[in-house]
Chains A and B, each alone.
Chain A
Amino acid sequence: MGGEVFGRGGAITVDVWSDVMCPFCYMGDTLLAQAVERFPHGDAVTVRYHSFQLMPELSKEPVDLVDLLVEKRGFPRDQVAGMHANVTERAAALGLDYRLDRAVTVNSRDAHRLSHFAAAGGRQNEMVHRLFRAYFTDGLNIADHASLADMAAEVGLDRDGAMEALKSGAFDDAVEADLRQARELGISGVPFFVLNDKYAVSGAQSVDAFLKALNTAWKTD
């Protein structure tokens, strides 16, 4: 029946490029999830996560986010405070508890490798959500291997296996492939959503915008 209403119908794959430290990615992912919940064919939607690194030049040594934005990016300190208040308020409206004062800003490459490790174990969605919460709410270090392995265990993955993957550099090629594909697709900012390799949605759009995109993909693919 849904096919009659929406057209041809079929499976929808949403490929999401995002970074664990991107405030709008966590929001965008939440908005997409709400749209899928409301979409009459939500069961036909598969979400896959791809790596995109903000500030890839960062090391694994934590830096203070406010200091980074002030000293390296040249933002006035009060403007940063205003931006953070605005982002925190927008996140709260979606039920997300942003604690940017606690954020441990580091290179996110290892967190991305863990996301791919989780994908291989069928738990990528849970892993990505745990990583977002780790950075934005819990103030955990997403470059610390012990913390990452603990989070992997929390979502049902083998802790030792995760630790081994992190130590060995596994899945770095998968991260690199995602970054390359992002460049090929011309993605310059995240979150970025691609539906069925055909339609794209850029940014943390509204639930209605995501619903419209899902309907478009459903009708035409």
Chain B
Amino acid sequence: MASTYETEEPQAPEAPEPEPAPLLILDAGEAAGVCDLDGECR
């Protein structure tokens, strides 16, 4: 009896996710209020 073999489709290697483009900070050159993780606001 002929045996059967399951064959798997060859899989293409996963393409690495593209790195997100860095954000362009629009600095108005002004002192603006910001609060950090520790709760310090300046």
Contacts and interface: CB of A to CB of B under 8 A. Distances in A.
Contact of A23 (B20, B24, B33): B33
Contacts, number: 89
Chain B: interface size category: 10 to 19
Given A23-B41, A24-B41, A87-B41, A189 B35 contact: yes
A28 B34 CA distance: 9
A107 B25 CA distance: 30
B26 A212 contact: yes
B14 interface: no
Interface residues of A, number: 40
23 contacts: A21-B39, A22-B35, A25-B35, A27-B33, A54-B35, A54-B36, A54-B37, A54-B38, A55-B38, A68-B39, A87-B33, A188-B36, A189-B36, A190-B35, A194-B23, A197-B20, A201-B28, A203-B33, A204-B32, A204-B33, A206-B28, A209-B26, A212-B28
Interface of A: 19, 21-25, 27-28, 53-56, 68-69, 73, 83, 87, 90, 184-185, 188-191, 194, 197-206, 208-209, 212-213, 216
